[in-house]
Structure 1
Amino acid sequence: MYQAVSDAAIALFLEKGFEKVPVAEVAAAADISKPTLFRYFPTKEDLVLHRFADHLDEAARVVAARPAKRSPLDALQRHFLDGLERQDPVTGLCDNVHVLAFHRLLYGTPSLVARLYGYQERSEKALGDALSGTRGDGAPDGDALAARLAAGQIIAVQRILALENWRRIDAGETAEAVWPDAVVAANRAFGQLRSGLTHYA
């Protein structure tokens, strides 16, 4: 039901524009009542951002499922690079016409961008919880604030890398052409996470 209603809504938003489609029209297209729609999706923006729902705790899951000898940062870097390799839309490196149309809808609608930040904040919280309790050596670490700060930096790095990839593809470059630079940028960004902000200190 979630997927069907979200797909119907996104089709309408792509055709007419997010602001020009009332929720009642989405409900009618999905053949459900407006109150039922709001039981599934608390806000109109959630109809679009449902596509990110399974990514909310993705970074946390990567950290939790990593091999015992792999550090959280190494696991997250490998996961991001794997996403670039398979042109996962979450990395921004995807030139599929439907994905491009969706990203233009998303980044071109201020209320969706604002709501997306809320999703990213929840991702930070989940990742912070996963990082809290482990250090690079696996020993206990009671500093939950340090874990939240690290999570915020990691999620921000992933967001900025993805946005830069999408901007280049939206400007007309292919995913294949952008991929080598995207890999270099990702490795550099994760390297900066490892070394801290010494360059700016």
Structure 2
Amino acid sequence: MDTLGLRESKKQETRQLISDHATRLFMEQGFEQTTITEIATAARVAKKTVTNYFPRKEDLALDHHEEFTASLARAVTDRAAGESALTALRREFNTALEERNPVAGFAGPEFARMIADSPTLTARLRDLHDQREEALAVALADAAPPATPAIAPRAAAALLAAAHRLLFRRIQELTLAGHPNDRIATTVAPEAAHVFDLLAASLGDFPAAVE
């Protein structure tokens, strides 16, 4: 591995170390009660190092935020030839369900409770859902035919993002109720199918499938 690769690897290790200690402290003490100084001390780094990697305290807890906000747009952009946006998003969600992916809402009861008990994290999660919808609207607009009404991609994004938001909350709800991940996946799979079937009646193959 070259010097640049080693440097990048070290940065990733430091970032993960800080995130791991922050998550542990948040779950032990509560998000609001934990300070950046305590996190820095636990990770044995300077306070400035923590804020360099994580400018917002909320991002220490929700450290998959970039992947989360980009996930729906990426599924549309990367969809296979002949595949509609709805089909791609449905397939992507089913894959996340099978993998018990945190982006879909799987986080474990302690983590889910940490978010539920924190007004700051709850508000940040709402903001991330909104950002994900906005990114999806841009991807749908880019994929839509030229004659498509300007409101159409935003309307489709609102419906699709709302469905994913609902399913995310459902997974969190079942997690907080004490259900194990396998049982949650078994419960949510038919519910998700119902939700996506409802969307199919509204959206059809919008936007037109890629050639």
TM-score, normalization by structure 1: 0.84
How many angstroms apart in 2 are the aligned matches of 1:144 and 1:28?
51
Which of 141, 147, 168 pairs up with 1:132? 141
SS at match of 2:161: helix
Whether the aligned pair in 1 keeps the contact of 2:108 and 2:175 (CA below 8 Å) is no
Equivalent runs, 1:1-201 vs 2, <5 Å: 1-92=14-105, 94=106, 99-135=108-144, 139-196=145-202
Amino acid at match of 1:156: A
Q: Quick check: 164-173 or 152-161, which moved more?
A: 164-173
Whether the aligned pair in 1 keeps the contact of 2:22 and 2:39 (CA below 8 Å) is yes
Amino acid at match of 1:119: L
Whether the aligned pair in 2 keeps the contact of 1:56 and 1:122 (CA below 8 Å) is yes
Structure 1: tracts of 5 or more residues without a match: none
Pair 111,141 (structure 1): closer, same or farther in 2 beyond 3 Å = farther
How many angstroms apart in 1 are the aligned matches of 2:198 and 2:21?
41
Structure 2: tracts of 5 or more residues without a match: 1-13, 204-211
SS at match of 1:56: helix
- What is the CA-CA distance between 1:4 and the residue it aligns to? 1.9
How many residues were matched structurally? 190
- What is the CA-CA distance between 1:142 and the residue it aligns to? 4.9
How many angstroms apart in 2 are the aligned matches of 1:60 and 1:33?
36
Dislocated runs of 4+, deviation >6 Å: none
Amino acid at match of 1:169: T
Pair 176,25 (structure 1): closer, same or farther in 2 beyond 3 Å = closer
TM-score, normalization by structure 2: 0.80
SS at match of 2:143: coil
Q: Quick check: 146-155 or 75-84, which moved more?
A: 146-155
- What is the CA-CA distance between 1:101 and the residue it aligns to? 1.5
- What is the CA-CA distance between 1:66 and the residue it aligns to? 0.8
Amino acid at match of 1:118: D
CA RMSD of aligned residues (A): 2.1
Pair 141,29 (structure 1): closer, same or farther in 2 beyond 3 Å = farther
Larger relative CO (CA 8 A, sep 6+): 1 or 2? 2
- What is the CA-CA distance between 1:125 and the residue it aligns to? 1.8
Q: Quick check: 172-181 or 125-134, which moved more?
A: 172-181
- What is the CA-CA distance between 1:141 and the residue it aligns to? 4.8
- What is the CA-CA distance between 1:193 and the residue it aligns to? 1.8
Amino acid at match of 1:123: R
